[in-house]
Amino acid sequence: MASYVFAQHAPDAEYDRSLAWSALLLAALGAVMVYSASISTAEASRATGHNSAYYLLRHGLFLGLSLAAAIGVFLVPVRVWQRAAPWLFLGCIALLALVLIPGVGREVNGARRWIGLYVVNIQPSEAMKLAVVLYAADYTVRKHAVMKSFRKGLLPMLGVMLVVSWLLLREPDFGALVVIAIATFGILFLGGMNGRHFALLGAMLAVGFAGLVLSSPYRLQRIFGFMDPWSDPYGKGYQLSHALIAFGRGEWLGVGLGASVEKLHYLPEAHTDFLLAVIGEELGFAGIAVVIALFVWIVLRAFAIGRQAVLRERHFPALAAQGIGIWLGFQALINMGVNMGLLPTKGLTLPLMSFGGSGLVMNCVAIAILLRIDWESRQLARGLPA
């Protein structure tokens, strides 16, 4: 459906079909695996009416809204996003502040990250990931002449990012903060930041993240659980140990779709943060390899689209495309690392696949912006108006 609409809008200039199909395949596989991973949870919960398809129906609704949003976004010229970037960024900062207000923000498992709207919950940090990519790209283009200067180039961005960081840590949402920080400063580096400033900033971020971990008991517990989950398999290592058991049971080809044991109330958050573990158990190494290959291709295409935009001196689209690639690729990498026991546990979903509304919508919108950037570049290459 989405591919048909994109093709109809661009009869004279092709769009990146491989990017579109990679994203659609991940979303389709995600819907199937969300259903498989959530059946037992839905049947056991009174909140779902013991309806086994509860999470599938909600995810299907989110997926439909996401595709509709992506189609609408594809029709918007990239120059509109550039003009709107500062306002979108300010709007997302306001939402991050709003979520902290008691009675407005919704608290789940000790974290206040959502704004309840009766039918659905909005997670502002997901919108901020896209907003900060667009804002950082626009900022870098506007400040290109002074990007080598710490005071005029880097310091203003560092100031606004400290505000964003403070708001995210108040929720707390450390995982989103890591992704946003990496995407932002990755764009600044690609846009011409001084190499010494970048190295200094990297060291500061490393020290800051280490300080946040050491100053927080629950983050320290996650680190200890990550380092040796088997030392306390019924406590701090419970989630990771069961994720590892799921991967071990899957072996090469998996135990079969729907045949996972770990999703039967053993592995917490099986349909959200730990969806990859269920994929590993049911589809095995083969299924994991397909997911990784699709994400790698999306990241490669994002950078290739950015490179084509640079050749046509379209600097904002180039940085926005590469920033989206950094965001989606890095978040997928963290989620996979957490599932496989290579990284400490973070509350990050697998882009385009995990159950959720705000994240799925923002991921699809980002892919649509990528497709629009590519479409405009191909139009210009043919001498047609973008």
- 262-294: per-residue pLDDT in tens? 999 899 989 999 999 999 999 999 999 999 999
Per-residue model confidence (pLDDT) at position 195: 81
Using a pLDDT cut of 70, give the percent of the chain over it. Answer: 95
How would residue 28 be classed by pLDDT, with cut points 50, 70 and 90?
Answer: very high
pLDDT score of 5 more than 60: no
Count of C-beta atoms within a 10 Å radius of residue 290: 15
Per-residue model confidence (pLDDT) at position 46: 82
Model pTM above 0.75: yes
- 197-233: per-residue pLDDT in tens? 888 888 887 888 778 777 777 777 777 667 778 777 8
pLDDT score of 12 more than 80: no
pLDDT score of 10 more than 90: no
- 151-201: per-residue pLDDT in tens? 888 888 989 999 999 999 999 898 999 999 999 999 999 998 888 888 888
Report the distance separating Cα 1 and Cα 27, nearest Å.
Answer: 13
Report the distance separating Cα 287 and Cα 275, nearest Å.
Answer: 12
Per-residue model confidence (pLDDT) at position 70: 97
Count of C-beta atoms within a 10 Å radius of residue 63: 20
Per-residue model confidence (pLDDT) at position 214: 73
Report the distance separating Cα 241 and Cα 229, nearest Å.
Answer: 6
Alpha helices in the chain (DSSP H): 2-9, 17-44, 54-74, 78-98, 124-142, 155-170, 174-190, 195-214, 217-227, 238-250, 275-311, 315-339, 358-381
Give strand pairing partners of 121: 116
Joined tokens for residue 250: 């899957």
How would residue 33 be classed by pLDDT, with cut points 50, 70 and 90?
Answer: very high
Give strand pairing partners of 112: 107
